[in-house]
């Protein structure tokens, strides 16, 4: 009887362990699954905007897709037509690929409306394996195609493998038909995965059909997916070991204490809070949009100088942020009201008045009438910014070194003209009173050329500065002309015809003139190098600006008539140290730093090909946010407690 009781206790402990493991593993796979759902929704929004002819709506949806893919590490998103051919994709080489042979496409065409998931083999940069999530496009005229989002299943495999820390524990993300989409832990002895009881309650399953005795537990994972935990209990002589490890797994390692509602002071990870450059918090995003911290780790004082009590006061986050450094678009609290996860970077004032840079990442844990509950992390990235500034400075001086010959010629011209004009003026004055008028003309020419040389030197000195000012309203047209002062001679030497199409009136944008000039200089010099492959009469460069499709944006485009961007180049264009130039002629940092600068000033940069044939070429689009009007900037601001150093912009990602 005692043995039977011990066996029953052992089985009950194994079932409890499996249930906790399933719950913890579900937390780890929820984020990428939510990311797939967000990408599907954004792809469908783009399709609907295109059907309406709404270009602004398309741009918004594409921006949401780019953010979702970057945030959730997805492979791509796409839209097909009613025949299954991909019409549009975030990974352009997939356009034209047919998905008509996929089982999910046939099911959707037959009327299945829910999201379906299936493994696939596709030619993608991240690897051949993909996990496709699909759903039909909403169209009143009938079946119009499907929206597709793809995730590398190895990400889910790794997540489940990290969660399967107990001996004998297997974790799987299964479809309703039992097909495993991702697995972790020890493999099962037979291919078929055991499924929990139809009611979904955790239970003990005696050994049969080649399977050992297992404790089974499952949790719905959205759609027809289920997260299944199968645990073979430890030997009878160590029944307590598995239960103890499961407690650690369920409550600490994969349970994420903040997501469970545990107070940070009682959580084991807070012992690390004293050494890591980050702290965790819980907060509520209220219906009005304000975010109020409800719990925060004690390390907040070490990180920011503010005590936990001060950090929990309403408005602490908003008062400390330098709003001019927030990225383009809604702030993190507004995004969390719509999305399941969001991240942002900004400059923050410490308690001693000094500035630091923080990266904030938060995820929704619950939604209710009172607001949205979130859990997040604040990370100090000030040192990262300093390293990025050093890299950008090195790249800047490398660019100046490349243009040294052209700049020397640019300065030599006004000096030579001044020298000649001075000789002519001296000769005129030697002629007596009759030569005074001619001498005055020569002297005025000397003054004009001196101003020209002074402008070049002033531009060089400003561009060479290391300490940049804070974000401020700048004149985008002035930044373009400042860049042309530096790059004009290099373009003329290469025979490039430059066309500037700048409106007479452009609203000011948020930025730093020096950094915007650096971005433009990188793009223009890259265009010059690409145009050298074209005949001299076809070397054309156009820079144009306009108010963007969204009223709070200003767009600047740099277009060339070169050979364009090859698909393999587009994939790696903004990666650090990637270059198509011969050895010794390029660092591979220009575009990476340009993207980083644009992110740091709250904008973005994209690249695409303009067309085919004689009109082909590359087009880089820079999107800036409009600077707020003076009236919008009015209002109470906290008084600075000490002078703050200049801000730093983000590191390359």
Question: Could you give the domains of the chain?
Answer: 1-255 (3.30.450.20), 259-380 (3.30.450.20), 387-399+452-633 (3.30.565.10)
The whole-number pLDDT of residue 126 equals 53
Question: What distance in Å separates the CA atoms of residue 26 and residue 21, rounded to the nearest whole number?
Answer: 8
The whole-number pLDDT of residue 65 equals 83
Q: Inform me whether the pLDDT recorded for 640 exceeds 70.
A: no
**β partners of residue 359:** 345, 379
11-45, pLDDT tens digit by residue? 777 888 788 778 777 777 777 788 888 889 889 98
Task: pLDDT band for 266, please (50, 70, 90 cuts).
Answer: very low
The whole-number pLDDT of residue 283 equals 92
**β partners of residue 226:** 174, 220
The whole-number pLDDT of residue 85 equals 93
pLDDT (average), residues 318-333: 79
Task: pLDDT band for 250, please (50, 70, 90 cuts).
Answer: very low
Output the six-digit token pair for 32: 């990428």
- The model's pTM: 0.40
DSSP one-letter code for 36: H
Q: Of 494-508, 525-539, 579-593, where does mean pLDDT reach its minimum?
A: 579-593
pLDDT (average), residues 431-451: 78
The whole-number pLDDT of residue 245 equals 43
pLDDT (average), residues 187-191: 62
Return contacts of 339-342, CB within 8 angstroms, 24+ apart. Answer: 339/38, 339/364, 340/31, 340/34, 340/38, 340/364, 341/31, 341/34, 341/35, 341/71, 341/72, 342/71
Q: 506: helix, coil or strand?
A: coil
* CB distance 268 to 291 below 8 Å: no
Average of per-residue pLDDT values in the chain:
75
201-240, pLDDT tens digit by residue? 788 877 776 677 888 888 888 777 888 888 887 655 444 4
Output the six-digit token pair for 309: 């009590």
What is the chain's alpha carbon radius of gyration, rounded to the nearest angstrom? 31
């Amino acid at each position: 009887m005692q043995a039977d009781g011990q066996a029953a206790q052992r089985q009950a402990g194994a079932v409890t362990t499996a249930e906790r493991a399933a719950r913890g593993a579900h937390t780890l796979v929820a984020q990428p699954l939510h990311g797939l759902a967000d990408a599907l929704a954004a792809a469908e929004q783009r399709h609907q905007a295109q059907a309406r002819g709404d270009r602004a709506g398309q741009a918004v949806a594409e921006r949401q897709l780019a953010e979702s893919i970057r945030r959730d590490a997805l492979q791509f998103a796409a839209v097909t037509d009613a025949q299954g051919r991909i019409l549009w994709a975030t990974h352009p080489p997939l356009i034209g690929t047919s998905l008509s042979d996929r089982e999910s496409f046939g099911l959707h065409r037959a009327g299945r409306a829910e999201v379906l998931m299936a493994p696939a083999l596709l030619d993608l940069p991240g690897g051949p394996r993909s996990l496709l999530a699909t759903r039909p496009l909403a169209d009143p005229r009938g079946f119009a195609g499907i929206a597709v989002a793809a995730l590398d299943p190895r990400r889910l495999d790794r997540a489940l493998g990290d969660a399967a820390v107990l001996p004998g524990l297997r974790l799987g993300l299964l479809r309703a038909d039992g097909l495993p989409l991702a697995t972790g832990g020890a493999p099962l002895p037979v291919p078929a995965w055991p499924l929990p009881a139809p009611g979904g309650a955790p239970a003990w399953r005696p050994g049969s059909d080649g399977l050992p005795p297992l404790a089974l537990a499952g949790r719905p994972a959205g759609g027809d997916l289920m997260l299944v935990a199968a645990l073979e209990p430890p030997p009878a002589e160590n029944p307590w070991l598995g239960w103890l490890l499961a407690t650690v797994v369920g409550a600490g390692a994969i349970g994420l204490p903040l997501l469970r509602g545990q107070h940070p002071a009682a959580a084991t990870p807070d012992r690390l809070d004293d050494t890591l450059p980050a702290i965790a918090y819980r907060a509520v995003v209220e219906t009005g949009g304000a975010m109020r911290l409800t719990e925060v780790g004690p390390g907040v004082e070490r990180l920011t100088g503010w005590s936990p009590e001060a950090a929990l006061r309403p408005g602490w986050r908003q008062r400390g942020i330098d709003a001019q450094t927030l990225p383009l678009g809604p702030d993190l609290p507004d995004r969390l009201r719509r999305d399941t996860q969001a991240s942002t970077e900004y400059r923050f004032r410490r308690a001693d008045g000094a500035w630091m840079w923080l990266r904030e990442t938060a995820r929704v844990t619950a939604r209710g009438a009172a607001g949205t509950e979130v859990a997040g992390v604040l990370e100090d990235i000030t040192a990262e910014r300093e390293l990025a500034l050093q890299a950008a400075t090195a790249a800047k001086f490398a660019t100046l070194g490349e243009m040294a010959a052209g700049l020397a010629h640019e300065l030599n011209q006004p000096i030579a003209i001044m020298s000649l004009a001075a000789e002519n003026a001296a000769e005129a004055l030697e002629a007596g009173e009759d030569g005074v008028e001619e001498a005055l003309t020569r002297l005025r020419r000397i003054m004009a050329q001196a101003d020209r040389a002074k402008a070049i030197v002033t531009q060089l000195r400003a561009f060479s500065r290391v300490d940049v000012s804070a974000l401020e309203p700048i004149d985008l047209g002035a930044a373009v002309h400042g860049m042309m002062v530096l790059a004009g001679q290099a373009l003329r030497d290469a025979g490039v015809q430059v066309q500037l199409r700048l409106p007479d009136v452009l609203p000011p944008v948020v930025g730093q003139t020096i950094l915007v000039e650096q971005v433009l200089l990188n793009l223009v010099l890259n265009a010059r190098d690409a145009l050298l492959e074209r005949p001299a009469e076809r070397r054309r460069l156009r820079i144009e600006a306009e108010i963007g499709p969204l009223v709070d944006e200003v767009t600047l485009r740099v277009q060339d008539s070169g050979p364009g961007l090859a698909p393999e180049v587009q994939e790696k264009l903004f990666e650090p140290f990637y270059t198509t130039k011969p050895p010794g002629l390029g660092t591979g940092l220009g575009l990476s730093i340009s993207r980083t600068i644009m992110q740091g000033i709250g904008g973005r940069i994209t690249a695409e090909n303009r067309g085919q044939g004689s009109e082909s070429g590359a087009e880089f689009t820079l999107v800036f946010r409009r600077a707020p009007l003076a009236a919008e900037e009015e209002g109470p601001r906290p008084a600075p407690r000490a002078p703050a150093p200049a801000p730093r912009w983000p590191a390359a990602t």
